[in-house]
Amino acid sequence: SGASNFGEKFSRVKFSPSLTLFGGKPMEGWIAVTISGLVTVSLLKPNGQVLTSTESLCRLRCRVALADIAFTGGGNIVVATSDGSSASPVQFYKVCVSVVNEKCKIDTEILPSLFMRCTTDPARKDKYPAITHLKFLARDMSEQMLLCASSQNNSIVECWSLRKEGLPVNNIFQQISPTVGDKPPMILKWRILSATNDLDRVSAVALPKLPISLTSTDLKVASDTKFYPGLGLALAFHDGSVHIINRLSLQTMAVFYGSTSQRPVDDQAIKRQKTSGPLVYFKAMQMSWTSLALVGVDSHGKVHLSLKIDPL
């Protein structure tokens, strides 16, 4: 009963399976993106047979350095890719999977792309040459994206949202057909939601896994109760610290100095850290399914399980 009560506190995101069997049962399978720009899908049938297919994401194949996968509410698959350069666009593709004549079929469609805002800022244009982290904010929210661009010593994080916007229509066409002006054609466009200031270099990112919707009501309840599971993401830095930040506003909610680092209290402590050898920091992190615990692997290969996140 406790588990059901916990689930009732959140508005869950509703979505359909990407592929279903007879009777609406979801079909098992997996999807992968290769470095050469191919998408591979394998489907597991109830009799144990595996159907596999491979297709190019687009006609002009590019090198893929970073990729992430999310799902739309209707069951479509969305793939985001980057070649690793902040000067290049982040590309998005819709992938539709079907079974035709006992064979797996893949159809791809190009979606609107985006350039990170830091590349258009004259003060930061060449400051962050590489995109180091690219993640959808949730597996079932393909319309929100988290991007991190880095230099050798610093990083900047941006949060983007895909929205429908009306396409402006020239007055000439509105005079010819007034109804065009009343209902302008709609297009999908990426808009930046928020961005951090210049940060220390980010070494790892962990996102919440709770499939909750972020309506204005949900955000108000979280703000009033100070209970934020599913609304915070974790950023690990090269100084060994971990920051929990709001996944929409990117404002810091908490800072942890775990066993991988000791918080410097003065300039002498900072100097001792620099001369005592390389700092230990998280190279990879994962949040628990309740978003109340964090597991990390540090730069020495050790697993840390003791970092517990209170509900703030």
High-pLDDT (> 70) share of the chain, % = 77
The 38-44 sheet, strands edge to edge: 28-33, 38-44, 50-56
Cβ 230 vs Cβ 214: under 8 Å:
no
User: What's the pLDDT at 274?
Assistant: 46
- Asked whether the predicted pLDDT for residue 9 surpasses 60, the reply is no
The region of weakest confidence among 3-7, 96-100, 132-136, 232-236 is 3-7
- Asked whether the predicted pLDDT for residue 55 surpasses 70, the reply is yes
Higher pLDDT, 275 or 143: 143
User: What's the pLDDT at 172?
Assistant: 72
Band of residue 136 on the pLDDT scale cut at 50, 70, 90: very high
Cβ 133 vs Cβ 202: under 8 Å:
yes
Dihedral pair phi/psi, residue 172, rounded to 5°: -60, -45
Over residues 167-185, the mean pLDDT reads 66
- Asked whether the predicted pLDDT for residue 115 surpasses 80, the reply is yes
Higher pLDDT, 172 or 69: 69
- Asked whether the predicted pLDDT for residue 3 surpasses 70, the reply is no
Tell me how far CA of residue 155 lies from CA of 229, 236, 245, in angstroms.
25, 11, 15
Higher pLDDT, 239 or 185: 239
The region of weakest confidence among 126-130, 163-167, 217-221, 231-235 is 217-221
Higher pLDDT, 282 or 264: 282
Cβ 183 vs Cβ 173: under 8 Å:
no
- Asked whether the predicted pLDDT for residue 193 surpasses 80, the reply is yes
User: What's the pLDDT at 169?
Assistant: 72
**What does the mean pLDDT of the chain come to?**
82
Distance between CA atoms of residues 54 and 128, nearest Å: 34
Beta strand 50-56 pairing with 38-44: antiparallel
User: What's the pLDDT at 192?
Assistant: 94
The region of weakest confidence among 12-26, 121-135, 236-250 is 12-26
Band of residue 100 on the pLDDT scale cut at 50, 70, 90: confident
Dihedral pair phi/psi, residue 111, rounded to 5°: -105, 170
Q: List the structure tokens of 12.
A: 């869950």
- Return the HEC string of the chain: CHHHHHHHCCCECCCCCCCECCCCCECEEEEEECCCCEEEEEEECCCCCEEEEEEECCCCCCCCCEEEEEECCCCCEEEEEECCECCCCEEEEEEEEEEECCEEEEEEEEEEEECCHHHCCCCCCCCCCEEEEEEEEECCEEEEEEEEEECCCEEEEEEEEEEEEECCCCHHHHHHCHHHHHCCCEEEEEEEEEECCCEECEEEEECCCCCECCCHHHHHHHHHHCCCCCCEEEEEECCCEEEEEECCCCCEEEEEECCCCCCCCCHHHHHHHHHCCCCCCEEEEEECCCCCEEEEEECCCCEEEEEECCCC
Higher pLDDT, 186 or 308: 186
| CA nearest neighbour of 312 among 252, 235, 265, 267 | 252
User: What's the pLDDT at 4?
Assistant: 47
Higher pLDDT, 242 or 263: 242
Domain ranges of the chain: 202-259+277-311
- Return the HEC string of 7-41: HHCCCECCCCCCCECCCCCECEEEEEECCCCEEEE
| Fold assignment, 202-259+277-311 | Thrombin, subunit H (2.40.10)
